[in-house]
Structure 1
Amino acid sequence: MLRMMCKGKIHRATVTEADLNYVGSITIDRLLMQAAELNPYEMVQVTSLKNATRWKTYALPGPAGSGQICLNGPPAHLFAPGDLVIILSLGLFDEQQVRQLVPKVVFVDADNRITHCQSHPLYTNDGEVNWDALQPQQAKQA
């Protein structure tokens, strides 16, 4: 059986642009993509903290250090500059891969600069679910 899992996340990024006339996708600062281990053309889910809109698209790298988060094409109707979003990278994993999965969470400031990163091992070295380490943390307010 394959499981759909979150493999990486950029938390509370600020939309810098919304370009209706672009072909499609989301453009993300390359440094953020690298920190979250997102590859070019990888499918991502973008969720608005303003209105809970969810959009699935593919990621393209923007200039490194630019802080760029640009929703291209149709999602420009749903997301606007200044909106806070969560960008999730999802993947299908078999049981062995799930046991080795260590999702990456990238936290950013208001300018989409990395403040810190976290890794979340799902399993202990003994092969048990790492329940205590996986408790939700209180989100920092911007």
Structure 2
Amino acid sequence: MVINERVEIYNVETGMRFATYVIEAPPRSGTISLNGAAARLAMPGDKIIIVAYASFDEAEAKIFKPRIVRVDRDNRVLAG
């Protein structure tokens, strides 16, 4: 994900789905936060899914491998 990229957030706890954008946090801080209006749609501790999309031509789409990142309660990346 890149700064200002549109992403979708799926709140596993409430079923709420909404779009927002990526803002920068300190490197390796584990910070995932929602600001502005989006902050009212999820609470600290809620499990969320962050979805980012990309566009490919047909050749690129055939070789693309999505990256799925799972994190622990402190937003540290889990192995595997």
TM-score, normalized by the shorter chain, greater than 0.5: yes
TM-score, structure 2 normalization? 0.89
Unaligned runs of 5+ in 1: 1-37, 118-142
Higher strand share: 1
Runs (4+) off by over 6 Å: none
Aligned length: 80
1:34-79 deviation digits (Å, cap 9, x = unpaired): xxxx111111111101011111111112111211111111111111
Compare relative contact order (CA 8 Å, sep 6+) and give the higher one, 1 or 2: 1
TM-score, structure 1 normalization? 0.53
Q: Please report the RMSD computed on the Cα atoms of aligned residues, expressed in angstroms.
A: 1.2
**What residue number does 2:55 align with?**
92
Is the CA contact 2:4–2:22 (under 8 Å) kept in the aligned structure 1? yes
User: Aligned residues: percent identity?
Assistant: 36
In our comparison, the structure showing a higher alpha carbon Rg is 1
1:80 & 1:42 partners in 2: Cα distance?
22
1:87 & 1:75 partners in 2: Cα distance?
13
